[in-house]
Chains A and B, each alone.
Chain A
C-alpha cells in the first residue's frame, strides 16, 4: 500500500473502480492547462523539486582556496481537495445502483482542476509563477461583446509573431467567456468558435478559473508542467456513515519563454 492508503478504506474494488472512473470523467474537461502546456512525469510522490539549471551565490566557502554555489530548484506544490461520501451510497453502488450520489467527489474534482488552471495561467503567490503573471506583453482588452473577440485574438497572434514566437496557437477561455463564444454566431450565422479557430490554427479550450483569456503558442518548450504524483484519489478516515477522502496531486510549473503568451483581459 502506498501513501494514498486506499487499502484501508471500507470500499470494495468495484466501488473503487467506479470512483476512479467518475473522477477521471469529471477531471478531464476542466483540466485546461494539461491540454496546452508541455507535461513531464509523473515522477512520483517522492519527487520534490524541478531542476532549473541555475545557481545562487553563497557566502564564505568552508575554507580558503575553494568557492561554492548553491543550486536553485523549483519546489513542487501539493494540492488536495477533501470530500466525504456516504457509505450507504457506495453500498448501493455495490448492489448495482447506477446513480450513486457522488456529488461531493464531482465538486472536489472541479475545485482541484480550477486550482491547477489558476496556478498555471495566473500563478500561485509564493509557490509558482503563472503564464499571465510573467508575460511581458501588455494585456489586450477582450471587451464585453463576443462578436468582437476575433480582433483581440488576432492582435495577440500578431504580437506573438512579431516577437518570433511561432504557432500553432491556442486560446484558453475563462468559463464565462467560453460560454459566450459557444453561444455566439456572427453576422451571417458563422459560428464564432470556428472563426477563432481559423485565426489561431489551433484549439480553443474551456479553462474554468482563468480570468479573461490567454493566447499561447503550442510549438513546445515554452511552458513546462512537471508532475510528481499525478491526480489521485486517497483515503483519510471513516465512521459508520461516511468515508472521508481526497483528490491530490503534486506539481511544479515553469515558464521558459514568458513572451510566448498574451493575456486578454476580461
Chain B
C-alpha cells in the first residue's frame, strides 16, 4: 500500500535569504514572506479558531509579531515553523478570549480513547470524494474536523494538511515527538471513523446519489 508523501518542500536556503534581508530592514523581503505563507497561516488559524474574523486577526497579529521579533529568530528551524508556532499561540489566545469558561490548551486530555479504535470496518467507495458535489463535500469535511478535540485537530492540520514533518510539528506546538505521533494517530483514526457514514460503499452501486 502506498505511503503518504509530504505536501510541500520549500527550498530552505531561499527562505533564509529572504529572512536575512528582512532582518536587515528590507520590508519587501518581509512582504515576500507574507505572500509565501499567508494562506497557510490563515488556514491554520481558521482550523483552530473556527471563526473567520478571528482567523483574519490571527494572520495580521502573527505576521506583525514575527516582524517585530525577527531579530530573536535564531535560524535553527525553518522560518515557516517559527511562524506557525507564533500563529498557533495567537489562535489559541483568541480561542481562550472567546471561550473564557473553558481552558483551551493543546495539552487538554479528552476522553477519546474509545473513539480512536475502529468500531466499524466497512470499505469505502473507490472515489469517495466524487459521491458529493464540492459544496457538500466541503461541508462534510468541515463539520467532521471541527468535531475533533483542538489538540488533535491542530496536530492533524499541521502534519497532514500543511505538510510539516513530525519534528517540525513538535517544534511548532512545543510537544514531544511521541505526543505528536500519538495525537496524529488518534486524529486520523477518529476522522476516518466519523467519515465512514458518508463514504461507505453503497449496496446499490458505488457513488450513486
- B partners with A: no
Q: Which residues of chain A have a CB within 8 Å of any CB of chain B?
A: none
